[in-house]
Structure 1
Amino acid sequence: MKSYITTPIYYVNGSPHIGHAFTSIMADILKRNRQALGYELMLSTGVDEHGQKNQEAAQELGMPIEDYLDMRCAEFRDVFDKLDVTYDYFVRTSRDGHKEAVAGMEQSIFDKDLIVKKNYTGTYCKGCEEFKKESDLTEDGQCPLHPTMQVEQTEETNYFLKMEPFRERLLKHIADNPDFVQPVAFRNELKQMLAEPLEDLCISRPKARVTLGVELPFDTEFVTYVWFDALANYLTNIDWPDESYAPWWEECEHLIGKDILKPHGVYWPIMLMAAGLPLPKKLSVHSHWVGAGGVKMSKSIGNVVDPIEVMDKLGVDALRWYLARHMRADSDSQISVELIAQTYEAELNNKLGNMLSRAAKFARSKFDGKLPVKGELTAEDEALRQTVLKATAGMGEWIDLADIPARTQAIITAAAELNEYIDKQAPWSLFKNEDTRERSKTVVYVALDCLRIVMEALQQVIPASAGKALATLNVTEVARPWKPELDRLPGGTELGDIQPLFPRVQ
Structure 2
Amino acid sequence: DGGQFSTSQGRGVFMDQALDILPADYWRWWLLSHAPENSDSEFTWDNFQASVNKDLADVLGNFVSRVTKFCRSKFGETVPVGGDYGPEEDALIARLAKGLAAYEAQMEAIEIRKASNELRALWVAGNEYLQSTAPWTVFKEDPDRAAVIVRLALNLIRVYAVISAPFIPDAAARMLSAMNTLDTDWPSDMKEALAALPEGHEFSVPDVLFQKITDDQREDWQARFAGTR
TM-score category by the smaller chain? 0.7 to 0.9
Corresponding residue to 1:404 among 80, 97, 112: 112
The answer to whether the 8 A contact 1:305-1:337 is kept is: no
Q: Which has the larger radius of gyration?
A: 1
Residue 440, structure 1, aligned to residue 140, structure 2:
no
Q: Distance in 2 between matches of 1:497 and 1:454?
A: 16
**Higher RCO (Cα < 8 Å, 6 or more apart):** 2
Structure with a larger share of its residues in strand: 1
Corresponding residue to 1:473 among 152, 163, 179: 179
Letter in 2 for 1:463: P
The answer to whether the 8 A contact 2:106-2:112 is kept is: no
Partner residue of 1:449? 155
Partner residue of 1:347? 55
Corresponding residue to 1:385 among 90, 93, 107: 93
| Structure 1 counterpart SS, 2:110 | helix
Alignment RMSD (CA, Å) = 2.5
The answer to whether the 8 A contact 1:351-1:415 is kept is: yes
Over 6 Å off, 4+ runs: none
The answer to whether the 8 A contact 1:395-1:457 is kept is: no
Unaligned runs of 5+ in 2: 215-229
Judging changes above 3 Å, is the alpha-carbon distance between structure 1 residues 306 and 471 closer, same or farther for their aligned structure 2 residues?
same
Judging changes above 3 Å, is the alpha-carbon distance between structure 1 residues 390 and 307 closer, same or farther for their aligned structure 2 residues?
farther
Report 1:90-239 matches (<5 A). none
| Structure 2 counterpart SS, 1:415 | helix
TM-score normalised by the chain length of structure 1: 0.39
Report 1:302-313 matches (<5 A). 303-313=11-21
Judging changes above 3 Å, is the alpha-carbon distance between structure 1 residues 332 and 488 closer, same or farther for their aligned structure 2 residues?
same
Judging changes above 3 Å, is the alpha-carbon distance between structure 1 residues 398 and 336 closer, same or farther for their aligned structure 2 residues?
closer
Structure with a larger share of its residues in helix: 2
Letter in 2 for 1:341: Q
Q: Distance in 2 between matches of 1:327 and 1:401?
A: 14
String of CA shifts for 1:52-94, please: whole Å, max 9, x gaps. xxxxxxxxxxxxxxxxxxxxxxxxxxxxxxxxxxxxxxxxxxx
Judging changes above 3 Å, is the alpha-carbon distance between structure 1 residues 400 and 305 closer, same or farther for their aligned structure 2 residues?
farther
Shift of the alpha carbon at 1:495? Answer: 1.0
The answer to whether the 8 A contact 2:103-2:118 is kept is: no
Shift of the alpha carbon at 1:342? Answer: 1.9
Q: Distance in 1 between matches of 2:82 and 2:39?
A: 47
String of CA shifts for 1:333-388, please: whole Å, max 9, x gaps. 12134322221111111101111011011112211211113522222222222222
The answer to whether the 8 A contact 2:103-2:119 is kept is: no
Once the two structures are aligned, what percentage of the paired residues are identical? Answer: 28
Partner residue of 2:223? none
Partner residue of 1:489? 197
Residue 502, structure 1, aligned to residue 210, structure 2:
yes
The answer to whether the 8 A contact 1:353-1:502 is kept is: yes
Q: Distance in 2 between matches of 1:364 and 1:324?
A: 34
Q: Distance in 2 between matches of 1:355 and 1:300?
A: 43
Partner residue of 2:167? 461
Q: Distance in 2 between matches of 1:486 and 1:414?
A: 14
Unaligned runs of 5+ in 1: 1-290
The answer to whether the 8 A contact 2:32-2:167 is kept is: yes
Q: Distance in 2 between matches of 1:302 and 1:379?
A: 57
Letter in 2 for 1:424: S
String of CA shifts for 1:232-251, please: whole Å, max 9, x gaps. xxxxxxxxxxxxxxxxxxxx
| Structure 1 counterpart SS, 2:206 | coil
Partner residue of 2:125? 417
The answer to whether the 8 A contact 1:325-1:405 is kept is: yes
Letter in 1 for 2:64: L
Partner residue of 2:227? none
Q: Distance in 1 between matches of 2:108 and 2:132?
A: 36
Moved more, 416-425 or 315-324: 416-425
Moved more, 329-338 or 392-401: 392-401
Partner residue of 2:218? none
Shift of the alpha carbon at 1:309? Answer: 2.8
Judging changes above 3 Å, is the alpha-carbon distance between structure 1 residues 310 and 337 closer, same or farther for their aligned structure 2 residues?
farther
Shift of the alpha carbon at 1:442? Answer: 0.9
Letter in 2 for 1:439: R
TM-score normalised by the chain length of structure 2: 0.81
Partner residue of 1:430? 138
String of CA shifts for 1:244-268, please: whole Å, max 9, x gaps. xxxxxxxxxxxxxxxxxxxxxxxxx
The answer to whether the 8 A contact 2:79-2:203 is kept is: yes
